[in-house]
Homo-oligomer: A and B are copies of this chain.
C-alpha cells in the first residue's frame, strides 16, 4: 500500500487513457470494465474510482479525448477548403471516416449515458459546441440571406442527419441488408438538402 514513489497525476491519467484507447481500437466498449482497466495498468480498481470518482466519469474523459482527436482531423479542413459548401462536404466525409476508422471509440461517445441527475460537464459541452460550430459556420458562409434562426435550425438538422447516417453505417441495425455506402448517403443528403437551401431567399417556406 501507500504511495508509489513516482506518482504524477498527469502521467497516471495519460496511462489510463492510453490503455483504454488501445483496448477500444480492438474491442467494443461493452467488453471493457473498470476492473479490466485496473488490471491493465497494474492498479487496484478502487484507485481508479478514487481518481475519476466513478466509472462513468472515466469514460467521459475518454470521450473528451476522442472528440479532441475528431476535432483535430476536422480543423485542417477549415484552411483547406475556403468554399463553405465544399468544406461542408469534406467535414461530413471526414466525420464519417473517423467513425468508421475508430468505431468503438466513436460509438462510446454517443452511447455513453451519464448517471441520472448528473449533467454534462462544461469541458465536454464545450467540445461538442466546437464541433457543431464547424457545421454552422459553413451554412452561414453559404447563403447570407437566410436569417440566423433558420441557419441554426438547418445546422441542427444536418448535424443530426449526418449523425444518423453514420450511426446506421456502423451497426446497420434497423437497416436493410442492402449495405448502402455511408459516404454515398452523405453526399445524397447534402446534394439534395443544400440545393434547396442555397436558393432559399431568406424566407421560410
Contact = CB atoms under 8 A, between A and B. Distances in A.
Given A111-B111, A195-B196, A205-B191, A165 B174 contact: no
- A contact face: mostly helix, strand, loop, or mixed: helix
A163 interface: yes
Nearest to A173: B110
A89 interface: no
Contact of A163 (B125, B167, B193): B167
Contacts of A197: 192
What's the number of copies of this chain in the assembled complex? 2
A161 B164 CA distance: 5
A120 B172 CA distance: 11
Interface stretch (A2-10, A36-44, A176-184): A176-184
Contacts of A30: 113
Interface string A147-175: 00000111011011111110110010111
Nearest to A169: B160
A185 interface: yes
A188 interface: yes
**Chain B CB within 10 Å, residue with most, of A109, A160, A184, A191:** A160
Contacts of A79: none
29 contacts: A30-B113, A110-B173, A111-B111, A128-B176, A129-B176, A132-B174, A132-B175, A152-B180, A153-B188, A154-B192, A156-B168, A156-B175, A156-B178, A157-B185, A157-B188, A157-B189, A157-B192, A159-B168, A160-B164, A160-B167, A161-B161, A161-B164, A167-B167, A191-B196, A192-B192, A192-B194, A192-B195, A192-B196, A193-B193
